[in-house]
């Protein structure tokens, strides 16, 4: 779906997670990556404030010309997407600063986030996966994206994507809200002993 007005083109790209949609704007919005997880965090950044004023918006990540929005799951993207498009277009057309210069000053560095995620894996996630003969390993953290591999019984398991989406991602969102995405880089086609 493309939204066009006053030469600002915005393309909505629904994601695998039905509660996440990416909005690609035809121009750079922010040089860098911003992950905002609530109205309180959005204060001082006009674009983020406008997006969090829309009922149903849960998380917003801005990177270059891409705005990724996670919603509460109560709304369909057809109606919510139009409101997001209006907010994006309005703030861009108004000019001025979209994201506060000091936004994210208190967000953890990649190294700090890595340690935090690893601690969550060790204490919260791997003990449960171990009961099924599996484990999760942290490969890297880039910005607010966590890269993982699944091994043991999880490697090649037909339920791996469900475990990732409804288990790992939910725990990370609760314990480390600065994480915006979890990417599984496991080659599941090579799994020889899946649990399921």
Tell me the DSSP string of 154-168: TTT-TTHHHHIIIII
Residues 22 and 86 in one domain: yes
Q: How far is CA 30 from CA 27, 66, 193, in A?
A: 9, 9, 45
- From 94, 126, 155, give the residue that closes a domain: 94
In-domain check, residue 104 = no
Quote the DSSP letter at residue 188.
G
In-domain check, residue 40 = yes
- From 36, 61, 94, give the residue that closes a domain: 94
- From 94, 119, 137, give the residue that closes a domain: 94
Residues 8 and 80 in one domain: yes
Can you give the residue range of the structural domain that contains 49? 2-94
Residues 8 and 90 in one domain: yes
pTM of the model: 0.57
Q: Which residues, including other chains, have CB under 8 Å from residue 37's CB and lie 6 or more apart?
A: 58, 59, 177, 178
Residues 140 and 66 in one domain: no
Task: Please report, in tens digits, the pLDDT of each residue of the chain (196 residues total).
Answer: 444 445 899 999 888 778 889 999 999 998 877 888 888 889 999 999 999 999 999 989 888 889 999 898 889 999 999 999 999 999 999 988 999 887 765 555 678 888 999 999 899 888 887 887 778 888 888 777 888 887 766 655 656 666 666 678 888 878 887 777 787 776 655 554 544 4
Structurally, the chain folds into a number of domains equal to: 2
């Amino acid at each position: 779906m493309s939204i066009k007005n006053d030469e600002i083109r915005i393309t909505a790209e629904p994601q695998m997670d039905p509660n996440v949609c990416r909005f690609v704007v035809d121009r750079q919005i922010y040089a860098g990556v911003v992950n905002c997880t609530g109205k309180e965090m959005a204060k001082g950044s006009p674009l983020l404030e406008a997006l969090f004023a829309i009922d149903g918006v849960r998380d917003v990540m801005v990177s270059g010309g891409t705005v990724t929005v996670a919603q509460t799951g109560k709304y369909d993207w057809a109606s919510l997407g139009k409101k997001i498009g209006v907010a994006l277009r309005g703030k861009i057309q108004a000019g001025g600063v979209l994201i506060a210069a000091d936004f994210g000053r208190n967000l953890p560095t990649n190294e700090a986030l890595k340690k935090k995620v690893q601690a969550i894996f060790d204490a919260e996630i791997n003990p449960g996966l171990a009961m099924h003969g599996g484990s999760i390993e942290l490969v890297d953290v880039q910005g607010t994206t966590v890269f993982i591999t699944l091994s043991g019984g999880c490697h090649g398991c037909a339920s791996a994507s469900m475990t990732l989406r409804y288990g790992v991602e939910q725990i990370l969102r609760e314990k480390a809200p600065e994480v915006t995405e979890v990417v599984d880089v496991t080659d599941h086609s090579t799994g020889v002993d899946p649990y399921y």
